[in-house]
Structure 1
Amino acid sequence: MTTRRTANGAEHAGAKSDETLEDYTLRFAPRRYRRWSPPVVATTALGGIAYLADFSIGAGIGLAHGTINALLGIAVAALIIFTTGLPIAYYCARYNIDLDLVTRGSGFGYYGSVLTAIVFGSFTFIFFATEGAIMAQGLWLGLGVPLWLGYLITTLVVIPLVIYGMSALSKLQVWTTPVWLLLMVAPVGYLVVSDPGSVGEWLTFSGNEGAGEVSAAAVFLGAGVALSLMAQIGEQVDYLRFMPTRTPENSRGWWLSVIAAGPGWVIPGALKQATGAFLAFFVLGLAGTEVTEPVRQFLGVYELFAPAWLAVPLAVVLVVVSQLKINVTNAYSGSLTWTNTATRLTKRYPGRTVFVLGNLAVALVLMEANMFAFLDSVLSFYSNTAMAWVVTVASDIVLNKHVLRLSPRVPEYRRGMLHPVNPVGVVSFLVSSGLSIAVYFGAFGPGVAPYSPIVAVLVAALAPPIVALITRGRFYLRRSDDGIAEPRFDSAGAPVDTLYRCHVCEQDFERPDMLACPNHDDVVCSLCVTTDRSGSHLLPEQSAEAAGPREPLPARR
């Protein structure tokens, strides 16, 4: 990445920047780059759900609260995650921007969404550490690699893949998926077929803390742990933003891919959690220890039909493939969100690679600190903030954009077009997460504490329309037009692919990423506006009513 300093002292991305490496961080993903078909994008996105933490989560819930309570809790969480993930997945795939950019225009404002970017960035390194710890356990069990060295290996191995972004990740996810499916599904299928009675015994298991009865408190405690994965939709849409433009010809495949790889990720996720609860119960009867570790779970099943010399390598290969598939996604999404946050706050663009390394360094520290030992507690607390963010954005999209029509239908993310802070999202997020965390820590009594996830979901769903009505939607847009006569979207709603040359970085970008430059009678790209430290490229504030037409600026095909 090179930079050049303009006359006004602002630092911008230079003409030699490689957007193949940067993967259009902070930008709209242009049509000329989105060359993958809907099924390939969906397969790449779903490759990230190969992670084995679901098995640990399910095992922990099942052992603590019993099978029926665990299954109900997993189902409740899955329903909430699917419902809130659907509008978010659609908006990111439809407008080819990531969740942070959607969040800016869905109630948070240009700087207000920094709050949620920190939440999502934390998600990526927490789960990288979780998945990396599982992979290190597999390396230790199968190859005798010390855990501290295993943590380091799991961190370093993803760097080359993540640096090259979607181009490399799409190949990795597509080619490894068949191997992963075979190694994971085959042993579980064998177990069910060879010992069907174990399923009935598992369904009657009451758990370490239960008495065999259905308990609302136990259900919601389990759901709270599972709901910590709600922020996974952010990683799914980091890939879905590369969906091709929807057309009448590809509409069916486009919708199937968006639903399957967007909110649909939770269906196999819930099945894995239920399977983890089953395997933990089964292996508990065989070994009695460490049944929440996925490598131990699968090793216990592999040993039923394969000799030890084969069972151990199979378990190790499953763990390594699964964890590599998810951790490249964790590292990739983390690099995007931290780059996004740092660039807005500092108005400097250091490049995505810097934050690939930074995110991995934090994850490595967490692994070395043995975060896996208190995983359930970390996830239960974290889920309150993750739910507050995701549900707030989903509520704004569904209720404020389409029902009340107080939020602009088309998501806006560019600096100068948005107010710095929008109280609709910020207030809703802070109130929702604050109340649910207070409930979680027993501020309203121990009997209410298990219901903190429901508090987070309900408050985050209802607060955005209430605040939007109070503020009458005045804090969404700073301007209603970007000063360029050509619309950003055509009559069919597809992004216009006319190329404009940014007069600052002298690169060509498609119409949705461009704005007029008020002081140079030219156009400027969104990233150069983001890094404009003097504000000379920033359009003046203008109400929607006062915004008027502007003469077309030069374009080139």
Structure 2
Amino acid sequence: MTIRTEASRTPLPAGDATDAPSLAMPGAATPLPGFEPVRRSYQSWVADETVEDYALRYAPVNHRRWSPFVIANTALGGISFLALEAIGAALTLSWGVLATMIAVLLASIFIFITSLPIAYHAARSNVDMDLLTRGAGFGYIGSSITSLVYTSYTIIFFALEGVIIAQALLVSINLPLHYGYLVSTLFILPFAVRGMTAISRFQMVTQIPWIVLGLLPFVVIALSDPQAVVRWQASSGPELGWLSLGAAISVLCALSLQIGEQVDYLRFLPPRESMTGLRWWGAMILAGPGWILIGGAKVLMGSFLVTLAINDGMSPEFAVEPIGMFWQAFQHAFGPGLALALATIYILLAQVKINVTNAYAGSLAQSNLFLRLTRYHPGRLVWLLFHVTISCALMLLGVFSTLEAVLAIYSNLALAWLGALFADLAILKPLGRSPRHIEFKRAYLPAFNPVGCGGMALGGLVGVSLYLGIAGPFLQAWSPPIAFLIAMLSAVVIGSLRGPAGYFARTPYDFGHAADCLCAICTHGYENRDMVYCTFYERPICSLCCSLEPHCRDYCKRPPPVAMQPSGLESLRLHRVSPQIWQRIWQIAAVFVALLVGLGCLYLIARYLASGLHDPALVRHFFLGSAPLLALIAIWIVMANERRRLTEDDLLRALTRLSITQRELALNQRLAAVGEVAATISHELRNPLGTITSSVEVLSRDPGLGPDSEEDVARIRRNIRRCSRIIDILLDFARQGENEIVSVDLREWLLASLSDHSARHHVRLDVPMGMRLACDPSRLQFAILNLIDNAAHAAESARRSPSIALSVIRRPDVTVIEVADNGAGMPPDLRARAFDPLFTTKGAGVGLGLPLVRRVAQMHGGEAWVERSGPDGTAMRLSIPDAP
């Protein structure tokens, strides 16, 4: 293990403390009193960032050590996949050359435009596709839906590329397909395990051979048969129409999510400020949206090669496969044996290059997906193995034979996602209706953001419905672009109404300008952009530990509970019935409907991929037979989740009681010690102070004292008064006498109390006329004047002219007195300890002022707390309940 097991705490830098923990009055949202976090350690491969590659974090500056050229070269190596040629061949056979060419042109323009803002923000924020989606309108849990879509994309294309490798090995060395699937899977692991470090080296070494072998047949054909391109363009095929064009574009639109794999490398781009703008923009565009310039050309290459192979007498079934088309292409320059060997080498080289990227991107996506679903992170390496295993299973199921149908269905969901994402990045952010920066940390994000989730849901629902043919063949052919447009417009409307504040569950904490901060759980130091302030533990923790935290139940994002008195009807509720019964019924119904819809989608997909499922009676029996099982599964899911939630709530309440008891015990022990010492100290110091005071008075009457001696005498008097005040505080702290309750006119009494105070000219009084309060006047006066002294000191420490607001708030059965200053605010660590005895930030303080204020409030049956604190000042409150 490389993780330390002991935590070291560092003081928090000053910053915005608006969402830091506070001590609250009874009935308000009382924060948890700083649990001691359980130290977390990770497996060695999780701790090794050469393997992990910051799978669940933003890429820090010290890990972005690759040059823009290496980043661009590595990213472009990931577009070597021959599925592009296969797609071009399939589209040509289905819709003709002209429809394929126009579709490639239009789809390339569309993909470039939609990918540009995604690549830009990922490179600027140094986050992968999932983290980008979280902060761009989907929320922390909402982005798990898109992670599932993106994970499916990487798995599908890994399987497609693996099938191409297996077909090449079957044709060249007669290796059975299932062995070819296994070889194509296992050969990827050594390169994908080490992440960007190994992948960049592998892509650098293989780039030139791949380019040479890929262009060689086209150069030979251009020299030996110049008319081949003319014959390709003149090839007969289905008549061009809106249906054929829409169908071809729908298949190509599924390639839009390739930008996710490009982003996985773009996040390592060095800071823009460290290089010229031309280098940064060039690398970002080339490695990002620029992939489609080469990708579109490869689709056209596949269209050309399949036409050439068929014209040379190859069967369409074999010509559509990359091994077939490239074998025939190499035969224009070499004999059949050498041509087959070169075609096999080229296919293996190209497919290994892309599947390394597919496996790497898939492991990142699955790490993010399962982290949110399970709050468990075994490491990217585990999900890499899971990824290749699922992909190998898809190869055995024959996914390649249904390539067009799979991509057409999938593209509706992919385009709905990208439509909502594009709306946020390219429209809402420039308009100021979305935050400028990408926030990815769990502590600050809502679970679901309706901007992205709502837009994707509407676009995906409409797109899939249209693809299933409910509105005719024309809209069916154009369903993916329609899904994109609806998702984009919906997200723009929702985002415009919601505004930037809707993107945050609470205000992000500003850690200031400190370079690094230690995580209180894993004890590692991370850049501030990767840290959050946890109000559950009252300490800074890293984003990964925040995501893995199972105990807090998103405590930091909970709104204060509203105290409500039960009405007459509520008092008649039958308490033997769970008050959450209707909530559970709705949950069961929602899960049941979701399972039913999912089952229906699977059936409809199977209907388009197979035959024999068109009998209406079969469909009816299928759904009726499945409904009871789905209902039982829905009940099981909801109740299992309910049991888990109740267990966590019980644990949270137990931890709360334990922590409060521990703090109260420690506080009482400290108070008892202070009380025992106070009486002794006061008795032992009174007599010496009296003697010193008398001696000073005698010395002050000596006519021979000079100016310097007078200053010394004045200094002695000030220190005597200071010592006397400390003794008075200690004595008052040790006293346990009863309150002398008197009813006072609160406004008149406060005016009289402030009349002799040095800060009276800086105090603004806001107290209603005629308000009366039953209290111990002497003790309450001490508490209020102490708060005013602290307020004046806070303003002076911030080098501001003191402005103190003393106000009284009347609530049912309680009076709240507030003292607000215009100081610099209290950092969270100081705010949490404000009322601890003997804790002070003043050079000449004792640390008993605020504890005495709290004791005065508690002796009246109330409480004292920090209401708010920020750059504009701090507000302290104490409550005095009405006398019975």
Structure 1 length-normalised TM: 0.92
Matched-pair contact (CA < 8 Å) for 1:436–1:453: yes
Q: How does 1:176-255 map to 2 (within 5 A)?
A: 176-207=206-237, 210-211=238-239, 214-247=240-273, 249-255=275-281
Counterpart AA for 1:250 = T
Deviation at 1:264, TM superposition (A): 0.6
Matched, 1:349 2:349: no
Matched-pair contact (CA < 8 Å) for 1:516–1:539: no
SS of the residue corresponding to residue 444 of structure 2 reads coil
Q: How does 1:378-417 map to 2 (within 5 A)?
A: 378-403=406-431, 405-417=432-444
The worse-fitting range, judged by mean Cα deviation, of 316-325 and 339-348 is 339-348
SS of the residue corresponding to residue 481 of structure 1 reads coil
Matched-pair contact (CA < 8 Å) for 2:39–2:521: no
Counterpart AA for 1:245 = P
Deviation at 1:11, TM superposition (A): 7.8
Q: How does 1:302-451 map to 2 (within 5 A)?
A: 302-403=330-431, 405-451=432-478
Task: Measure the CA separation in 2 of the matches of 1:76 and 1:366.
Answer: 31
Deviation at 1:326, TM superposition (A): 0.4
Task: Measure the CA separation in 2 of the matches of 1:225 and 1:34.
Answer: 35
Matched-pair contact (CA < 8 Å) for 1:439–1:449: yes
Deviation at 1:192, TM superposition (A): 2.3
Task: Measure the CA separation in 2 of the matches of 1:248 and 1:368.
Answer: 48
TM-aligned CA distance change 1:336 to 1:549, over 3 Å: farther
Identify the residue that residue 79 of structure 2 maps to in structure 1: 49
Deviation at 1:520, TM superposition (A): 4.5
Matched-pair contact (CA < 8 Å) for 2:451–2:494: yes
Matched-pair contact (CA < 8 Å) for 2:220–2:332: no
SS of the residue corresponding to residue 416 of structure 1 reads helix
SS of the residue corresponding to residue 442 of structure 2 reads coil
Counterpart AA for 1:120 = Y
Identify the residue that residue 516 of structure 1 maps to in structure 2: 533
Instruction: For residues 159-180 of structure 1, give each alpha carbon's deviation from its aligned partner in whole angstroms, at most 9, with x where no partner exists.
Output: 1211110110000111101000
Task: Measure the CA separation in 1 of the matches of 2:390 and 2:245.
Answer: 33
Task: Measure the CA separation in 2 of the matches of 1:252 and 1:376.
Answer: 39
TM-aligned CA distance change 1:552 to 1:354, over 3 Å: same
Task: Measure the CA separation in 2 of the matches of 1:464 and 1:481.
Answer: 24
Matched, 1:294 2:311: no
The structure whose RCO (Cα within 8 Å, separation 6+) is larger is: 1
Q: 2:152 aligns with which of 122, 134, 148?
A: 122
Counterpart AA for 2:63 = Y
Matched, 1:34 2:61: no
Counterpart AA for 2:532 = L
Matched-pair contact (CA < 8 Å) for 2:79–2:354: yes
Task: Measure the CA separation in 2 of the matches of 1:549 and 1:357.
Answer: 50
Counterpart AA for 2:306 = A
Deviation at 1:5, TM superposition (A): 11
Counterpart AA for 2:169 = L
Deviation at 1:248, TM superposition (A): 6.0
Task: Measure the CA separation in 2 of the matches of 1:537 and 1:201.
Answer: 64
The worse-fitting range, judged by mean Cα deviation, of 101-110 and 507-516 is 507-516
Q: 1:484 aligns with which of 506, 511, 527?
A: 511
Deviation at 1:542, TM superposition (A): 8.1
Instruction: For residues 119-176 of structure 1, give each alpha carbon's deviation from its aligned partner in whole angstroms, at most 9, with x where no partner exists.
Output: 0000010000000000111111112111110000001111121111011000011110
Deviation at 1:394, TM superposition (A): 1.4
Identify the residue that residue 30 of structure 2 maps to in structure 1: none
Task: Measure the CA separation in 2 of the matches of 1:121 and 1:239.
Answer: 17
Identify the residue that residue 302 of structure 2 maps to in structure 1: 276
Task: Measure the CA separation in 2 of the matches of 1:177 and 1:542.
Answer: 54
Instruction: For residues 171-207 of structure 1, give each alpha carbon's deviation from its aligned partner in whole angstroms, at most 9, with x where no partner exists.
Output: 0111101000000111112112321212112112232
TM-aligned CA distance change 1:553 to 1:226, over 3 Å: farther
TM-aligned CA distance change 1:477 to 1:87, over 3 Å: same
Counterpart AA for 1:535 = C
Matched-pair contact (CA < 8 Å) for 1:10–1:531: no
Deviation at 1:537, TM superposition (A): 8.8
TM-aligned CA distance change 1:385 to 1:537, over 3 Å: closer
SS of the residue corresponding to residue 221 of structure 1 reads helix
TM-aligned CA distance change 1:201 to 1:549, over 3 Å: farther
Counterpart AA for 2:273 = T
Identify the residue that residue 109 of structure 1 maps to in structure 2: 139
Instruction: For residues 340-366 of structure 1, give each alpha carbon's deviation from its aligned partner in whole angstroms, at most 9, with x where no partner exists.
Output: 111122112111111101111110011
Deviation at 1:383, TM superposition (A): 0.8
Task: Measure the CA separation in 1 of the matches of 2:448 and 2:41.
Answer: 26
SS of the residue corresponding to residue 532 of structure 2 reads strand
Q: 2:119 aligns with which of 89, 97, 105?
A: 89
Instruction: For residues 513-534 of structure 1, give each alpha carbon's deviation from its aligned partner in whole angstroms, at most 9, with x where no partner exists.
Output: 0112335453210000001111
Counterpart AA for 2:302 = G
Task: Measure the CA separation in 1 of the matches of 2:385 and 2:274.
Answer: 42
Matched-pair contact (CA < 8 Å) for 1:436–1:455: yes
Task: Measure the CA separation in 1 of the matches of 2:43 and 2:210.
Answer: 41
Q: 1:100 aligns with which of 116, 122, 130?
A: 130
The worse-fitting range, judged by mean Cα deviation, of 516-525 and 156-165 is 516-525
Task: Measure the CA separation in 1 of the matches of 2:534 and 2:146.
Answer: 29
Matched-pair contact (CA < 8 Å) for 1:485–1:549: no
Structure 2 length-normalised TM: 0.58
Counterpart AA for 1:328 = V
SS of the residue corresponding to residue 91 of structure 1 reads helix
SS of the residue corresponding to residue 247 of structure 1 reads helix
Counterpart AA for 1:99 = M
Count of equivalent residues: 535
Matched-pair contact (CA < 8 Å) for 1:395–1:464: yes
Identify the residue that residue 162 of structure 1 maps to in structure 2: 192
Deviation at 1:380, TM superposition (A): 0.8
Identify the residue that residue 551 of structure 1 maps to in structure 2: 827
Task: Measure the CA separation in 1 of the matches of 2:273 and 2:282.
Answer: 14
Task: Measure the CA separation in 1 of the matches of 2:522 and 2:498.
Answer: 38
Matched, 1:262 2:291: no
Counterpart AA for 1:321 = L
Q: How does 1:490-509 map to 2 (within 5 A)?
A: 498-509=515-526
Identify the residue that residue 480 of structure 2 maps to in structure 1: 453
Matched-pair contact (CA < 8 Å) for 2:185–2:392: yes
Counterpart AA for 1:499 = D
Matched-pair contact (CA < 8 Å) for 2:192–2:359: yes
Matched-pair contact (CA < 8 Å) for 1:128–1:331: yes
Task: Measure the CA separation in 1 of the matches of 2:323 and 2:419.
Answer: 33
TM-aligned CA distance change 1:455 to 1:311, over 3 Å: same
Deviation at 1:553, TM superposition (A): 8.2
Instruction: For residues 535-557 of structure 1, give each alpha carbon's deviation from its aligned partner in whole angstroms, at most 9, with x where no partner exists.
Output: 289644689xxxx9763989xxx
TM-aligned CA distance change 1:425 to 1:549, over 3 Å: farther
Matched-pair contact (CA < 8 Å) for 1:524–1:537: no
Matched-pair contact (CA < 8 Å) for 2:164–2:322: yes
TM-aligned CA distance change 1:15 to 1:295, over 3 Å: closer
Counterpart AA for 1:111 = I
Q: Which has the larger radius of gyration?
A: 2
Task: Measure the CA separation in 2 of the matches of 1:64 and 1:162.
Answer: 36
SS of the residue corresponding to residue 89 of structure 1 reads helix
Instruction: For residues 439-466 of structure 1, give each alpha carbon's deviation from its aligned partner in whole angstroms, at most 9, with x where no partner exists.
Output: 1111101232111122112112211111
TM-aligned CA distance change 1:297 to 1:10, over 3 Å: farther
Counterpart AA for 1:124 = T
Counterpart AA for 1:162 = A
Task: Measure the CA separation in 2 of the matches of 1:143 and 1:13.
Answer: 48
The worse-fitting range, judged by mean Cα deviation, of 234-243 and 388-397 is 388-397
Identify the residue that residue 490 of structure 1 maps to in structure 2: none
Matched-pair contact (CA < 8 Å) for 1:8–1:536: no
SS of the residue corresponding to residue 164 of structure 2 reads helix
Counterpart AA for 1:183 = L
SS of the residue corresponding to residue 412 of structure 1 reads coil
Deviation at 1:469, TM superposition (A): 2.4
SS of the residue corresponding to residue 50 of structure 1 reads coil
Identity of aligned residues (%): 37
